[in-house]
Amino acid sequence: MKAFTDLKPIPTLLSPKDLNSWKPIAKREEQQISAIILHSTDKKPSTEYLKLSLENGFFIHFLIDKKGEVYWDPSAFQNVYAASPGMDVVSLHIAYEGSQEQLLQNSIQSKRMETLVKELTESFAIPKSNYDIISQKGVFTHNQAKRRFGGFVDFSPCGGEKALERLLINIGGEYKEEDQWYQRYESGWVLKKENKQRLQETFFPTNGRGISKPEKVSLPSIESDVNGYPTEAYRVKYTFRGKIKPTCIVLHYTAISDYFQSLKTLENRNLTATLMVDKNGKAYQLVDSLEDRAAAATGTNDQCIQIEIIAKDTAELISQPEQTEKVKVLVLELAQKYKIPLNNEDIQSLSGIFSHTQAKKRWGGSIFLNAKDFDPGEEYMELILNSIGGKYFPESEWKNRSSLDWAILYKSFQP
């Protein structure tokens, strides 16, 4: 650290109790370092920020306080800390005290951070750019890292894009807006971003309504025509994505109160569920076969039957008894047909009855992650499971819920 002769050890900011819990999650070789992740303490003073980080199993390598003092872990280049899942092994985590707005007004703190980041990028040949986080090479905000790899606790713009923009420009680097991030509109992001025009231009359905002939309906609770086939007008146009052997069911709600508008929305986004249950309690098969792979819930599509339920929100779902009764019957029929357990304990096993919310918390892959539990709502899941002789597990009892493998973490704080 040639530009710094006055670095202070981070342990001086920790209490004796916190020192006992301060340890890396792994060791690394210096040549593994290829990225810097920028964090902010926001409204918390440095000492509280570090304390909360340790209490929740996280930590950082550098901290720059409002006076411009730089604190560091003297073994920063060898120590791996949990702070940004998916990036930790290759990253140096740098936090600045205060909010982005405060940093932009604090010339001393800003200059110290620029000097630190400039030296680190040049010492470790880290690109001075936020363009390609998929490569794990560059300088990024924690916000960008979470959008790609997950590990959300909250959805605040952690690290500050404006702060990063000025930093990169001032050290001779290149800053890209979110729309310009490498492959931002492609699959693989935990928090997806969609280009509606592109989706519509590239949607060439191969199956469904008016295109392919479905199999006859195999469950009594599903609506059919006089010949026993799914009702054609209620089917979706979709891209065939192969077959599955169902081991689980995922329940969704449409966030739209109209059946045909919901159908149109699926087609506009090149998505499909397996089944959809209207407000009047009628269930329709959208695809040619129950075992056609749906595209509705990342991480589960390869093994799960996806059921969309027409309603604008959980409150409307609860107020539609005919529909609720049909969902119960449908779930039971499917569970019996495919020997699916009636519980929501272990979504990673892909064996059970789960909400889309639970799937999103585990794998992300949605453009909507930052709402309170909805889709279809845990209250609704509890009602369905308990009333069909199953067992509902609240979030605190989901298997491995405290793991850092989840897209949305079960923590109260993150750095």
Q: How many domains does the chain have?
A: 2
Mean pLDDT rounded to a whole number for the chain: 96
Q: Are 158 and 99 in contact (CB under 8 A)?
A: no
Burial call 256-288: b when 16+ CB within 10 Å, e when fewer? beebeebbeebbebbbbbbbbbbbebbbbbbbb
What is the longest distance spanned by two Cα atoms in the chain? 84
Q: Is 287 helix (H, G, I), strand (E, B) or coil?
A: coil
Claim to verify: residue 86 and residue 170 sit in the same structural domain: yes
For residue range 21-45, list pLDDT tens digits in order: 999 999 999 999 999 999 999 999 9
Q: Which of 135, 151, 180 is the C-terminal boundary of a domain?
A: 180
What is the residue range of 258's domain? 196-397
Give the 3-state DSSP-derived string for 107-119, with helices as H, strands as E and coil as C.
Answer: HHHHHHHHHHHHH
**Same domain membership, residue 218 and residue 169:** no
Cα distance between residue 334 and residue 219, in whole Å: 8
Helix 321-338 and helix 378-387: axis angle, to 10°? 60
315 and 387 assigned to the same domain:
yes
Min mean pLDDT across 4-8, 210-214, 336-340, 409-413 is at 4-8
Mean pLDDT within 357-377: 86
Q: Which two tokens stand for residue 369?
A: 């992650």
Is a pLDDT exceeding 90 seen at residue 230? Answer: yes
Residues 107 and 56 in one domain: yes
SS3 264: helix
Quick: pLDDT tens for 293-311: 999 999 999 999 999 999 9
CA dihedral 388, 391, 392, 393 (to 10 degrees): -170
Buried b (16+ CB within 10 A) or exposed e, 318-332: bebeebbebbbbbbb
In a domain, 413, yes or no: no
Question: How many of the other CB atoms lie within 10 Å of CB of 236?
Answer: 24
Show Cβ contacts of residue 363 under 8 Å, excluding neighbours closer than 6 positions.
150, 190, 298, 299, 300, 407
Quick one: 125 and 208 in the same domain? Answer: no
With CA atoms as reference, report the closest residue to 190 among 29, 10, 369, 410: 369
Q: Of the residues 180, 211, 226, which one is the last residue of a structural domain?
A: 180
- Give residue 252's pLDDT band: very low, low, confident or very high (50, 70, 90): very high
CA 334, 336, 342, 348 torsion-angle sign:
negative
**Within a domain: 283:** yes
Residues 78 and 176 reside in one and the same domain: yes
C-alpha to C-alpha distance for 13 and 47, rounded to whole angstroms: 6
Radius of gyration of the chain from Cα atoms? 25
Tens digits of residue pLDDT in 385-407: 999 999 999 999 999 999 999 99
The number of beta carbons lying within 10 Å of the beta carbon of residue 348 is 14
Give start and end residues of each alpha helix (H) in 339-407. 356-363, 378-387
Q: 277 with 286: CB under 8 angstroms?
A: no
Are 218 and 334 part of one and the same domain?
yes
Give dist(CA 32, CA 126) in Å, integer. 11
When pLDDT is averaged across residues 269-289 and rounded to a whole number, the result is: 98
Are 231 and 328 in a shared domain?
Answer: yes
Asked whether residue 191 is assigned to any structural domain, the reply reads no
d(CA 24, CA 12): 17
End residue of a domain, out of 180, 204, 225: 180
Q: What is the CATH number of the domain that holds 61?
A: 3.40.80.10
What length is written for the chain? 415
> Is 166 a member of any domain?
yes
Quote the pLDDT of residue 4.
Answer: 64
Instruction: Please check whether residue 182 is in contact with residue 132, taking contact to mean a CB–CB distance below 8 angstroms.
Output: yes
Q: Phi-psi bin for 390: left (phi > 0), alpha (psi -120 to 50), beta?
A: beta
Report if residue 117 sits inside a domain.
yes
Per-residue pLDDT, averaged over 261-275, amounts to 96
3-state secondary structure of 170: helix
The pLDDT assigned to 261 comes to 98
pLDDT at 139: 99
